[in-house]
Amino acid sequence: TNEPLPLDASRMKLSDPTESLIQPGVEYPRAMTFHPVLNKPLWVHLPSGESAFRLSVFASDQYPDVRIYGGYVFVANGAFTPSPDGVRRLAFDRTSKYAYYAKIQVQWFSDEKSTQDQYLGYVSDFMTELLPEFMRCLPDWPSVESTDMPTTAASVTE
């Protein structure tokens, strides 16, 4: 199932979003992180759209007291998508000069008393911390949209 994955914006230092030059109405939120070597503030663009998480729960008759929660979300061409079909739609357009996609997958092994809501809470906390660092490593999509040369997020500063 696809589950909404709210990110805690109060725990991120956010700035005014950047509007897409190609897609009217699409905005890319911006969050602050730090350069990994220089430790200087660095603004990165976060994916556009709602973050929905594809969730599966696994149980086994052999180990009835264990639950395995697994979920993932893709980031493709600067947007969230919970499905491989969404990746194909976003990143495999033959008319686009550049494209990328990446997958974030989180698993949790727990006991039978654990709940899906607990798992999603842990993932939400983790993703709130991870996402700016993750996006620092990916192409800065608003820059790619506005130029002919791909730019890494680490080169977009203020």
List, for residues 64-101, the tens digit of each pLDDT value. Answer: 899 999 999 999 999 999 999 999 999 998 888 889 99
Longest dimension (CA), the chain: 55
pLDDT level of residue 158 (50, 70, 90 thresholds): very low
- 21 exposure class (CB count in 10 Å sphere: 0-12, 13-18, 19+): exposed
Please name which of 67, 32, 60 lies closest in space to residue 46, comparing C-alpha atoms: 32
Q: Is the pTM of this model over 0.85?
A: no
Is pLDDT at 149 greater than 60 in this prediction?
no
pLDDT level of residue 152 (50, 70, 90 thresholds): low
pLDDT level of residue 13 (50, 70, 90 thresholds): confident
What does residue 111 show for φ and ψ, rounded to 5 degrees? Answer: -90, 175
- In which region does residue 43 sit, left (phi positive, over 0), alpha (psi from -120 to 50) or beta (all else)? beta
pLDDT level of residue 57 (50, 70, 90 thresholds): very high
Contact 67, 58 (CB under 8 A): yes
Whole-number average pLDDT of the chain: 87
- DSSP E strand boundaries for 2-156: 2-4, 14-19, 27-34, 41-45, 52-59, 66-76, 79-81, 101-111
DSSP-assigned letter for residue 47: P
User: What local confidence, expressed as pLDDT, does residue 153 receive?
Assistant: 57
Two tokens, residue 76: 């493709």
Please name which of 152, 154, 107, 123 lies closest in space to residue 51, comparing C-alpha atoms: 123
DSSP-assigned letter for residue 48: B
